[in-house]
Amino acid sequence: MIKFLLKGLLRDKSRSRMPVIVVAIGVTLTVFMHAYITGFMGDTMEMNARFSYGHVTVMTRAYAEEAEMNPNDLAILNTQELLDELNTQFPDMEWAPRIVFGGLVDVPDQTGETRTQGPAMAMGVDMLSPTSREIERLGLEKSLRSGTLPSSSGEILISDEFALKLGVEPGDQATLIGSTMAGAMSMENFIIAGTISFGIELMDRGSIIVDLDDARMALDMYDGAGMILGFTPGGYYNNDESIARAASFNETYADSDDEFAPVMKALGQQGMMGPYVELTEVWSVLISLIFILAMSLVLWNSGLLGGLRRYGEIGVRLAMGEEKRHVYGSMIIESVFIGLTGSVIGTVVGLSFAWIIQVYGIDISGMMEGASIMMPSEIRTRITPPDYYLGFIPGVFSTVLGTALAGISIYKRQTAKLFKELEA
């Protein structure tokens, strides 16, 4: 019977082609939209991870309590020892020590007197070690606007906008005035190697990037780091997995009452990122649900119309003596085939579009001018496991439901009136 029904569907294009096309379009949109929402929201989270929080962050307990203020007097001091421990416990992760500090950039004139100065937010990252992936992680090469990346100690990058404000360019000298980790004033001379623009107003307003060892020297933090950021191998943040890793690490120090003992926090457990991660999860599900529901209604309607369009055919079949139950059953089986075929085609097409945008992205930097929160300047989709089965919900379920509802009318038709209806 199934073979018979399939043959019927293939030979009668009006029963198969249009319904399959409608289902495939609906499923394509569902799969693509889900990948888009996951990608856009995930990218914003990834950007915050790369610049500020990592997928997990290791700090001292005392630092963690005031983390928003970057209290470097409470920083980690035995960084290398801790890195060795982290590499042993989590060999699949990458670790990046960072120091974030505030200060003043002072530019001297020819006599050494202050020509101009401005407040800066400085980030100490490992830019010079051959094994470090920080340049790639922060996209420094892509963000370079003039000059070069630092190639030796004593060279810094300064945001393009800030450089313009201070009237400096690559090759100029600047003095960074800050506080050592002991709270004393520190002054350190640097050469501006290049200017950068991240396309994020928050970062471009007044930031400088210093090599980690130079930052340690300036702040008198030998082997120190404000925090060690951890990145999971997949490159995407997984809240449950990161929270589990943090809990496993913190278990090691559970018995210690030292306020400078290390503590690990997942991205979703830090500052403003906690509510954002929760919001992302809720919104991602909510938006996907609304879209799936909308597509379900469309496909249900399509199934319903398909059923009603075959009113005459069903009448003939009933008049020829086919049982109502048999007619109803065959329509349901046909709709399952249509739903499955459309869903498979739609999922493949949807995933293909999503893959193209995931790999190549869409540049929206022109729309980001004036943005005050850290958001990506490129939109990328992100294919996740639900994308492989999500489209089948509206694709199969709604189509079958629509047909099932339309088919109920079969049972309401009276055989005595059939010929009258067919004659008309």
Residues forming the site for another protein (CB under 8 A):
62, 73-74, 104, 106, 108, 112-114, 175, 177, 179-180, 182-185, 187-189, 220, 260
Residue closer to another protein by CB (options 60, 335) is 60
Neighbours of 254 (CB within 10 A): 8
Cβ(50)–Cβ(235) below 8 Å: no
Cβ(172)–Cβ(192) below 8 Å: yes
Cα(315)–Cα(215) distance, rounded to whole angstroms? 84
Residue closer to another protein by CB (options 99, 410) is 99
Nearest-approach distance from CB 108 to another protein, in angstroms: 6
Q: How far lies 177's CA from each of 181, 185, 239, in Å?
A: 13, 7, 38
Nearest-approach distance from CB 183 to another protein, in angstroms: 3
Residue closer to another protein by CB (options 160, 214) is 214
Residue 98 has, within 13 A of its CA and on its CB side, a CA count of 28
Nearest-approach distance from CB 75 to another protein, in angstroms: 10
Residue closer to another protein by CB (options 44, 180) is 180
Nearest-approach distance from CB 95 to another protein, in angstroms: 23
Residue closer to another protein by CB (options 110, 414) is 110
Nearest-approach distance from CB 111 to another protein, in angstroms: 10
Residue closer to another protein by CB (options 62, 348) is 62
**213: amino acid identity, one letter:** D
Per-residue burial over 110-132, b = 16 or more CB atoms within 10 Å of its CB, e = otherwise: eeeeeeeeeebbbbbbbbbeeeb
Cα(2)–Cα(222) distance, rounded to whole angstroms? 75
> At CA 203, angle to CA 273 and CA 382, rounded to 5?
50
Nearest-approach distance from CB 88 to another protein, in angstroms: 26
Nearest-approach distance from CB 281 to another protein, in angstroms: 37
Cα(215)–Cα(188) distance, rounded to whole angstroms? 9
Q: Give the start-end residues of each E strand in 22-151.
A: 56-60, 94-108, 114-125, 144-147
Residue closer to another protein by CB (options 189, 256) is 189
